[in-house]
Amino acid sequence: MVSKTQSTRSHAESMEIVLSLSRKMLESAESEDWQQVIVLENDRRNLIDSLDFSEADQEAYEGLVPMFDEVLKINKQLTELGGQELQRCADQIKGLSRSQKAAKLYKQL
């Protein structure tokens, strides 16, 4: 049986990895490497899914709150960057669509 201290330590270590992955995701998003964001998100999601907080000791896990807060802050930044990228892609598609329409009109002349 794992003691609460050992369990907390492993949760703390896991949360450090989650935080590190989140930071790497943000760096990748800022450099527009969206494929890497997806890979890192899958790794991060798998790690988070593996965590079990069912036997949480309130005091022991209070130290993890700042890490959760930072992950949430990074997620908000990722969402904003993702929205900007989505808008950029939509604008490109609209531009291509206009170009195709112009080309069709030109061919009809």
Topology given in CATH for the domain delimited by 4-108: Methane Monooxygenase Hydroxylase; Chain G, domain 1 (1.20.58)
pLDDT tier, 56 (very low <50, low <70, confident <90, very high otherwise): low
Helix (H, G, I), strand (E, B) or coil at 55: coil
- Max CA pair span of the chain: 80
What pLDDT does residue 102 have?
A: 64
Give CA–CA dist 77/26, Å, rounded. Answer: 7
Give CA–CA dist 7/5, Å, rounded. Answer: 5
Please provide the distance, in angstroms rounded to a whole number, between the alpha carbons at the two ends of the chain.
Answer: 80
pLDDT digits (tens, 9 = 90+) for 4-52: 444 555 788 999 999 999 999 999 999 999 999 999 999 999 999 988 7
For the whole prediction, is pTM greater than 0.85? no
Give CA–CA dist 106/10, Å, rounded. Answer: 66
> Are the CB atoms for 24 and 40 separated by under 8 Å?
yes
